[in-house]
Amino acid sequence: MTGRVSGKTIIVTGGGGGLGRAISSLLAEEGAAVGVIDVNGAGAEDVARSLTEDGARSIGLGADVSDWRAISSAARQVGEALGDIDGLVNNAGVAALGSVHEADAESWRRIMNVNVSGVVLASKAVLPGMMERRRGVILNIASIAGLVGIRNMAAYCASKGAVLSLTRQMAADYASFGIRINSISPGTIASTEMGLRLLGGDESPEARSRRLARYPMGRYATAEEIAQAALFMLSDEAKFATGSNLILDGGLTAV
Ligand code: ADP
């Protein structure tokens, strides 16, 4: 097979979710063996099963990225099943609404644990092997929430800002080992906008059209559009990119 990531073994965390599934599928289509890891183990197995049915090599495992023992053991199992890890997509994440004056300490800790410490721990699980082999790619899924302030999303914005800064810091540490570390910052994905209801967001038609009006393109992203950028960053086509952040937001942060 001659895909854009043929012969590479790539882990996708949060691979059972909407965006994680789209990224996993596209990487598999382009020739990668994909280790799908998600705190929702059944979701991860389901994605891996469908990739395998389509002829790819894949394994699905349940693990919480904020739990070192769980994520390091899952990464080891992916290596045993699919071969040395060449790539990691840090896509697992959680969101919640709330401003600082009403911040709930437990929810704040959870968001920072999963969105920031989870990136650190999953990366720590794969970096020693990559350093030894002197090659590897890590892609962090950040967000425009790390670039601009979004009302009523304090913890999420802070966590994604930390991901952007960690991406630059890690690029500095690992460039000499032949390891590239980048991020992509999606704007709202259509399916996530629908999911806002679950977080208790304002679902009135006025609020919905106010949110959409911020997008010069007049629409939200599809998960597939974001997955295409992830594929590029993981492929050798992006071999001079490290410490960079690719924004995919239909123009929102440009205006
Ligand atoms: P999106 O629409 O951006 O894909 P989702 O909530 O569907 O958002 O996807 C996030 C994925 O990350 C989910 O599958 C979720 O189970 C997963 N996830 C959340 N927290 C963790 C965690 N601590 N460890 C691993 N996976 C996680």
Domain ranges of the chain: 9-246
Using the predicted structure, report yes or no on whether residue 13 has a pLDDT greater than 90. yes
Q: pLDDT > 90: what percent of the chain?
A: 94
pLDDT (average), residues 202-220 = 93
Three-state secondary-structure class, residue 94? coil
Sequence-distant (≥ 6) Cβ neighbours of residue 213 within 8 angstroms: none
State the Cα–Cα distance between residues 140 and 72, nearest whole angstrom: 17
| pLDDT tens readout for residues 50-105 | 999 999 999 999 999 999 999 999 999 999 999 999 999 999 999 999 999 999 99
Could you give the dihedral angle defined by the CA atoms of residues 144, 148, 154 and 159, in that order, rounded to the nearest 10 degrees?
50
pLDDT band at 196; cut points 50, 70, 90: confident
Closest CA relative to residue 159, chosen from 201, 117, 193: 117
Atom of ligand 1 nearest to the CA of 189: 2
Q: Which pLDDT score, from 0 to 100, does residue 191 have?
A: 87
Which atom of ligand 1 is found nearest the CA of 66? 23
Span from the CA of 231 to the centroid of ligand 1 (angstroms): 19
The CA distances from residue 227 to 21, 129, 197, 221, in Å, are: 9, 25, 24, 10
**Residues of 218-249 as b/e, b for ≥16 C-beta within 10 angstroms?**
eebbebeebbebbbbbbbeebeebbbbbbbbb
Could you tell me the two tokens for 19?
């965006």
Q: Is the ipTM of this complex over 0.90?
A: yes
Q: Quick one: tokens of 82? A: 């699919």
Place of tokens 């425009």: 144
CA-16 nearest atom, ligand 1: 14
Ligand 1 centroid – CA 169 distance (Å): 24
So what's the pLDDT on residue 132?
98
Right CATH number for 9-246 from 3.40.50.720, 2.30.30.60, 3.20.20.70, 3.40.190.10? 3.40.50.720
Q: What is the DSSP string of 211-253?
A: HHHT-TTSSPBPHHHHHHHHHHHHSGGGTT--S-EEEESTTGG
d(CA 213, CA 178): 42
Ligand 1 centroid distance, CA of 43 (Å): 10
156 is catalytic: yes
Return the structure tokens found at 39.
Answer: 């705190």
Please state the rounded mean pLDDT for residues 137-148. Answer: 98
Query: Where is 35: in which H helix or E strand?
Result: strand 33-38
Would you say the CB of residue 59 lies under 6 angstroms from ligand 1? no
Mean pLDDT for the chain? 96
Residue 148 CB contacts under 8 Å (≥ 6 apart), including other chains: 252, 253
CA 208 to chain centre: 25
What Cα–Cα distance (Å) separates residue 255 from each residue in 124, 142, 189, 191, 197? 37, 20, 19, 24, 27
Q: What pLDDT score does 1 carry?
A: 58
Q: Check: pTM over 0.95? Answer yes or no.
A: yes
Give me 176's structure tokens: 């000499």
For ligand 1, say whether the CB of 17 is within 6 Å of any of its atoms: yes
Q: How far is the CA of 114 from the centre of ligand 1 (A)?
A: 9
Residue 144: is its pLDDT beyond 70? Answer: yes
Q: CB of 65 closer than 6 A to ligand 1?
A: yes
The answer to whether the CB of 145 is under 6 A from ligand 1 is no
% of the chain surpassing 70 pLDDT: 100
116-149 burial, b if ≥16 CB within 10 A, otherwise e?
bbbbbbbbebbbeebbeeeebbbbbbbbbbbbee
pLDDT at 198 over 90: no
119 CB under 6 A from ligand 1?
A: no
